[in-house]
Structure 1
Amino acid sequence: MATKPNGKFSITSDSDDNIMFFRDVSPGPHETQLRFRLIHFWEAWNPLKKTLIGIEMLLIDEHGTVIQGFISPGRIERYLPKMKPGSVYKLNNFYGSSNKSVYRVSDHAVTVSFSWNSELSVLEDSPTHFDEDRFQFHSFEDFQASCDRKGDLYGNLTYPPH
């Protein structure tokens, strides 16, 4: 492990790339690499102003840790053409931003935000195994129907799918 000037740790691999795992992501800029499988992504809209907020993502690393990702509207055209759910990627340079609990879609308190100097590329023939995603996404109608049941909504959002 190597210590960076900001006191954060990164892991050095055989190819001498600095790799960080999701469990180690904290708020602030990171000049290191993440490797992950893109589980799912969607557009986030402000319903009142009818404006695009950005692209939200659900990502999983090789340790099975899930984290939320975000791309701001000005960066969408740069990254969206490369993105395909289920594909494995490496992301160099990113910003860790604190989640607001009301918008959180993963347990991690930090979101991986693509920054001005982020570089996303498909990780071809990865030497690291990334589990296939086993998440089931329900429609808004399914979610809304479950809201009146006075029970745990998350019990209806299953992992793995039935």
Structure 2
Amino acid sequence: MANSYTLLADLKAGRCSNTAELRLLRFWEARNVKKGGELMSVDMLLLDEKSTLIQGSIGSIRQLRFRNRLSEGSVYALSGFDVSRSNPNFRLSDEPLSIRFNDGTSFDKLPESVRPIPTELFRFRSYNRLLELANTGKQLPDILGELTAIRSTITDRIPGAQRVMLTLRLQSGESVCVSLFDYMALAFHTKFDSYGKEPRIVLATGLNPKIVGGRLFLNATSATHLYFDSETNAGK
């Protein structure tokens, strides 16, 4: 007997044997910086047809089983997973629950789906809301803005940790600084060099708002993805 279909909003804590059709928006590695960058899990954001966004996680001991199947933007049938309460800190979704893969989890890419699952969803916050979230460690919002300046220690050959500072002007007129460190700074330069021109619009996800010296900075995290100009519908 086939498993019945479920929506993310109907999930309850515990083991779920039903099937959900979801779009994999983004995935990334979560590493423990206190243990030399040891891999803890592969995390992801999943979206269903009702625009419910939820965070999923594959533990390090299981990630090899699923890693080659992960394709951002693809639709999957997910079943046999655990549902648990979300961590109240550094949240990437407004949902109170999160998904964890287990030994019995099935995660199969679908060639097509009749369900109208959106292709993207971002958690943009106003400038005032970013200020409220600063230094709280509660949420990791997304931001979209016009690129007005780039400051890079990579191109300037300054010794020490690699760092890129992007200044973005929001639609409301305020400017904010997005800080990219180490591998994120290098990833930005790789993407920037391959883009062939200086982008006008930058969309950055999963940022940690901080107030430093009275100024708002948005620090990149392991969940940060960068999109230029019309790579997203929002950027268009």
TM-score category, normalised to shorter length: 0.7 to 0.9
Query: Are 1:147 and 2:210 matched, yes or no?
Result: yes
| Residues in 2 aligned to 1:16 and 1:73: alpha-carbon distance in whole angstroms | 29
The answer for the alignment partner of 2:100 in structure 1 is: 113
2:42 to 34, 42, 55: 55
| Residues in 1 aligned to 2:20 and 2:94: alpha-carbon distance in whole angstroms | 18
The answer for the alignment partner of 2:79 in structure 1 is: 92
The answer for the alignment partner of 1:69 in structure 2 is: 56
Which letter maps to 2:210?
C
Query: Are 1:160 and 2:234 matched, yes or no?
Result: yes
The TM-score, its normalising length taken from structure 2, stands at 0.54
The answer for the alignment partner of 1:126 in structure 2 is: 113
Deviations along 1:10-68, whole A, 9 cap, x unmatched? Answer: xxxxx954111111122111111111000000100111123211011011101111000
**Runs of 4+ residues over 3 Å off in structure 1:** 134-140, 149-153, 159-162
Q: Larger C-alpha radius of gyration, 1 or 2?
A: 2
1:42 to 28, 35, 46: 28
Shift of 1:152: 9.9
| Residues in 1 aligned to 2:71 and 2:61: alpha-carbon distance in whole angstroms | 19
1:81 to 49, 62, 68: 68
The TM-score, its normalising length taken from structure 1, stands at 0.76
Deviations along 1:58-108, whole A, 9 cap, x unmatched? Answer: 111011110000000111111110111000001111000111111321001
State the percentage of identical aligned residues.
27
SS in structure 1 of the partner of residue 72 of structure 2? coil
| Residues in 2 aligned to 1:140 and 1:82: alpha-carbon distance in whole angstroms | 31
Which letter maps to 1:20?
T
Deviations along 1:110-135, whole A, 9 cap, x unmatched? Answer: 11111110011011221212111143
Which letter maps to 1:23?
A
Unpaired runs of at least 5, structure 1: 1-14, 154-158
The answer for the alignment partner of 2:128 in structure 1 is: none
Aligned residues: 142
The answer for the alignment partner of 1:9 in structure 2 is: none
Unpaired runs of at least 5, structure 2: 124-141, 144-177, 181-203, 220-232
The answer for the alignment partner of 2:154 in structure 1 is: none
Which letter maps to 2:73?
G
